[in-house]
Amino acid sequence: MKISLQWLSRYIDLSGLPVAQITDALPMLGLEVEETASAGLQPLKNVVIGKILSFEKHPKADKLSVCSVDPGAPAGPRQIVCGAKNFAAGDLVPVALPGAVLPGDFEIKVSKLRDVESQGMMCSARELGLGDDHAGLLILTARGLPVGTSINDHFPPPDTVLDLSITANRGDCLGHIGVARDLAAYFDRALRLPGLTDATPAAPAPASEAAPLLASVSTTIETCPYYTATAIRGVRVAPSPDWLARDLLAVGLRPINNIVDITNWVMLETGQPLHAFDAANIGGQQINVRPARPGETIKLLDQGRVVALETTDCVIADAQNALAIGGIMGGENSGVTAATANIVLEAAWFRPGPIRKTSRRLALSTDSAQRYTRDADPAGVLFAARRATALILELAGGTVIGPRAVVGAPSRGDRAIDLTADYVRARCGFDIDDTTIAGTYRRLGFTVAQAPSGAWRVTVPSFRSDIDRPIDLVEEFVRIHGTTTIPSTPIAAPAPGDIENDDPLATFTRRAGAHLAGQGFAECVHYTLCDGHDLAALFGQPMADALALANPLTSELGHIRPSLIPGLLDALALNLAAHNAPRRLFEIGRVFRPAPDGALRELTAVSFVVLAAPATRAWLTRAPVDFYHAKKLALDLAALAGVSAARLQFHLITDNAAAGAGKVAPLPAPALWQRNHSAQTTDRARQIELACGLIDAKTARARDIKGHAIIAGELLLPRQIFTTESKRTRFQPFTAYPPTTRDLALVVDAATPAGDVADKLKTTAAKIAGKTFAVEAINIFDLYQGQNLPDGKKSLALSLTFRASDRTLTDDEVNAAFTKLQTDLAKSTPWQIRK
């Protein structure tokens, strides 16, 4: 939604408020500013008003014309070659003379186009920076500007345009008045709403005159419970006045004619869509709002596109044919043209659900549909109709014929919510006086009165469909009051070691996030929804089908995600493209998997990715980033979840292996992982899944990550694995006695997992040590395969650490235990001890 500050200033005094202060305030109000741009004419040199004297076809190019243009004295008539088709002799147009520099640093020079000299350029609106329209020249004939005068003399100073991201619950801010209302409340300034005066209908025409413009209006579909139509006779369709065209251009709309432009302008002012029909094309002088008939089609204003309708679609029809798709777009045959003399102005309210469904099915995301799907204000229909009618009579003339036809009534009115100031203070957590709270609500357009219970009765206008509970009113107060003004208050909470009955899953995710952040990772947060094509490419079409939404918001976000890793890869690619530093990323969030029984399971995922690229200009030699690095990071996360590495059995991901097992539906050997360089494991007892390794090189290249390996890991956890009883963390004092280490090399089968070897050593050594001392750690520090070893064998070198808590171990007792360990291993395993 683009907002013009010059337009906005009609409703709120913005004097003394720098643009930066306004753009800082809007996100605090929940209106994110995506872009700030300048609109309108920047000062230009050597661009003047010129008059087209004559033109003829280019001798060597069918699509070009050779024009004689008068740019005024002293230059005199000039020859200019032009490719536009929307001009005639006598038209006034902007002319850029040689030496002019247009937006984009485009310098105008004398040049030849297909061997014909061109001594300048006639300009479109986009070439002057006045908007996006470049379908033809900017025709200024209606303004009667003096030939030869500078273009700068006829356009106001540049405007500032803000592109706002409006959330789905704030449909009231899809118009300038809605945004102005929030800013007026935030800055405590008056809101200036436009005054309305109803036009007096013309006296009944003599029977000898033409039939009435509109004989009947009816609605027979639940999609449209409220419809109004205003008939106006004798309008003059012409170009819009400068101020109206300028406003539309500033926010990216192309002016068409005064009637159509007024409907668009009022929509952008109020947030209420409107549509004007040519009354001459309404068969039988009837408007019927009805379901589409089986097999019915309509030719749209959208470049004459013909679409097939379904019986669930709502259409605006005359006695025979559909004139428009209700709430979305008008038909080409009933639109206003230069020949139109009589119009019927539609203002209606359509239910969001059916409009959303039709809009998505037909891929028609129009300004009108966007507003109805975000629950436009039904009580604002009449205001917009009156506003547009007054502007049409002012700018296009005409006479209102008969009273306005109204069918139905607004489906939503004002709502009363009772609450107390103490409730607001308790939820906010700081002291604030009653007058300030009530004043904030009144600045938003709410009324505050005393309820019979003694509480406040706050009446919320119909345009705020998102407010229906007391807690919503608390949120509104904080939004306007500002979070930056909340006083700092010491937190009265128990020490971390005394916290009981905390949510164990939340505790784990906090610890996992802190752990990864401590390892140098940056956290990411992505949408839970993802693209179906990408999902199918990485995880297979069956997985994509199982995770498809029945009614997606957009085609690009039509599925729920089964993994966090694709989003992290996208973030990594974005960082590389923007030359940003973070190359170690993690995310904690929800993913979804279909279970074997067909049900959908929600899991908590902790995922990470690391780009194996050396840091530039780094003096420190870094550890290699490989599978074992990924496995170490993944096992650390599993340990935080209370899962011992001894309980995990890793399996290599190959073309015949699945990344998933147990009660979590297995993933097909995904394109996500590099075969034979990645592994997965599952703790079936606790339904935990863990995968780690290298990302497939083709997948990385598809995201423009080339020339570097990427390691990744993902831990999936169902909520029920955590008990509701929290465990206190208790400090154990460090022992003051030194450890003793012994090294051992074993020859084992090449297929024997190293983890199995370490687990066997630990259990055997623990039995030998008994309660006299502890086997503190067993670490694998070398793997060897090659000469001096039989085929199918490998050598593992392990370091065992022994320590006692009450004394220093002697060599004799450690050696005795170590010798006993070797003897027991020789008897109980097929492994050979290397000397």
Whole-number Å distance between alpha carbons of 317 and 80 = 48
Contacts of 497 (CB under 8 A, 6+ apart): 728, 729, 730
The torsion angle over the Cα atoms of residues 589, 591, 595 and 600, rounded to 10 degrees, is 100
Query: Assign residue 770 a region: left if phi > 0, alpha if psi is -120 to 50, beta otherwise?
Result: left
CA 540 to chain centre: 26
Residue given tokens 């593992």 in the structure block: 796
Tell me: is residue 472 an annotated ligand-binding position.
Answer: yes
Tell me: is residue 476 an annotated ligand-binding position.
Answer: yes
CA-based angle 601:607:609, to the nearest 5?
A: 145
Whole-number Å distance between alpha carbons of 596 and 658 = 14
Strands (DSSP E) found in 544-583: 559-560
Tell me: is residue 127 an annotated ligand-binding position.
Answer: no
Choose among 627, 629, 635: nearest CA to 683: 635
Is 147:71 a contact under the CB 8 Å cutoff? Answer: yes
Whole-number Å distance between alpha carbons of 680 and 682 = 7
Residue given tokens 């007892």 in the structure block: 685
Local structure of 457: helix, strand or coil: strand
Whole-number Å distance between alpha carbons of 384 and 403 = 16
Contacts of 465 (CB under 8 A, 6+ apart): 169, 171, 172, 375, 377, 412
Tell me: is residue 531 an annotated ligand-binding position.
Answer: no
Choose among 300, 311, 316: nearest CA to 214: 316
Quick one: tokens of 486? 């909340």
Residue given tokens 């097909």 in the structure block: 668
Strands 286-291 and 216-219 come out as parallel
User: What's at 104, amino acid-wise?
Assistant: G
* For helices 176-187 and 434-443, angle between their N-to-C axes, nearest 10 degrees: 160
Choose among 273, 191, 201: nearest CA to 232: 201
Choose among 255, 250, 213: nearest CA to 237: 255
Whole-number Å distance between alpha carbons of 835 and 833 = 6
CA distances 515 to 241, 508, 581, 730, Å, are 63, 10, 20, 19
Is 393:199 a contact under the CB 8 Å cutoff? Answer: yes
Whole-number Å distance between alpha carbons of 801 and 602 = 41
- Binding-site residue positions: 466, 472, 475-476
- Binding-site residue positions for Mg(2+): 466, 472, 475-476
